[in-house]
Amino acid sequence: MTRWISFAIFITVVITVYSLLNYYFIHKHKNILTLKTTPVLILRLLLFTLILTPIATIIFSRYEQTAIAAITGFAGYSWLAFLGLFLGIHGIFDISLFVAERNGMKPSESHTRAISATAVIVSLLILFYGAFEADNIQIKNIAIKTDKFRSGERIRIMQISDVHFSPMIGGAMAQTIKEIADEQQPDLIVSTGDILDPGIKQRNEIVATLSEIKPPLGKFAIMGNHEFYTTEQYSKQFISDSGFTLLRNKSINIRNNLTVAGVDDPAIKRVKDAIIPPIQTYLSPKTRDRYTVLLKHQPRIEENSENYFDLQLSGHTHGGQIFPFNFFVRLVYPYMYGIYELKGGAVLYVSRGAGTWGPPFRFMARPEVVIVDVVSVN
End-to-end CA distance of the chain: 56
Averaged over successive runs of 10 residues, the pLDDT of the chain (378 residues) comes to 63 78 79 67 78 79 81 88 91 84 77 85 95 97 94 95 95 97 98 94 95 97 94 95 97 93 91 83 89 97 92 97 92 96 94 95 97 92
Residue 79 and residue 40: Cα distance in Å, rounded? 18
pLDDT at res. 27: 78
Q: How many domains are contained in the chain?
A: 2
Residue 326 CA from chain centroid, whole number:
12
Q: With the CA atoms of 309, 313, 314 and 318 taken in that order, what torsion angle do they form, in degrees rounded to the nearest 10?
A: 160
Q: What is the CATH number of the domain that holds 245?
A: 3.60.21.10
pLDDT at res. 47: 78
Range of the domain at 180: 138-376
Helix H or strand E encompassing 339 = strand 338-341
What string of DSSP letters covers 152-220?
A: T-EEEEEEE----BSSSS-HHHHHHHHHHHHHH--SEEEE-S--B-SS-TTHHHHHHHHHT---TT-EE
- Statement to judge: residues 242 and 340 lie in one domain: yes
- Statement to judge: residues 348 and 252 lie in one domain: yes
- Statement to judge: residues 87 and 178 lie in one domain: no
pLDDT at res. 34: 63
Residue 198 and residue 227: Cα distance in Å, rounded? 9
* End residue of a domain, out of 134, 160, 188: 134
- Statement to judge: residues 124 and 148 lie in one domain: no
- Statement to judge: residues 110 and 238 lie in one domain: no
CA distances for 193 relative to 37, 148, 244, 353, angstroms:
50, 27, 12, 10
pLDDT at res. 209: 98
CA distances for 157 relative to 179, 187, 307, 313, angstroms:
15, 6, 21, 10
Alpha helices in 29-108 (DSSP H): 30-33, 38-62, 66-102
For residues 157 and 166, the answer to whether their CB atoms sit within 8 Å is no
* End residue of a domain, out of 134, 159, 193: 134
- Statement to judge: residues 160 and 130 lie in one domain: no
- Statement to judge: residues 97 and 158 lie in one domain: no
pLDDT at res. 269: 82
- Statement to judge: residues 115 and 154 lie in one domain: no
- Statement to judge: residues 122 and 161 lie in one domain: no
Backbone angles phi, psi at 186, to 5 degrees: -70, 155
For residues 211 and 245, the answer to whether their CB atoms sit within 8 Å is no
- Statement to judge: residues 91 and 43 lie in one domain: yes
- Statement to judge: residues 88 and 234 lie in one domain: no
* End residue of a domain, out of 100, 134, 168: 134
For residues 17 and 54, the answer to whether their CB atoms sit within 8 Å is no
For residues 277 and 249, the answer to whether their CB atoms sit within 8 Å is yes
Helix H or strand E encompassing 246 = strand 245-246
Residue 156 and residue 75: Cα distance in Å, rounded? 39
Burial 191-227 (b: 16+ CB within 10 A, else e): bbbbbbbbbbbbbeebbebbeebebebbbbbbbbbbb
User: pTM for this structure?
Assistant: 0.90
Residue 274 and residue 263: Cα distance in Å, rounded? 13
- Statement to judge: residues 104 and 144 lie in one domain: no
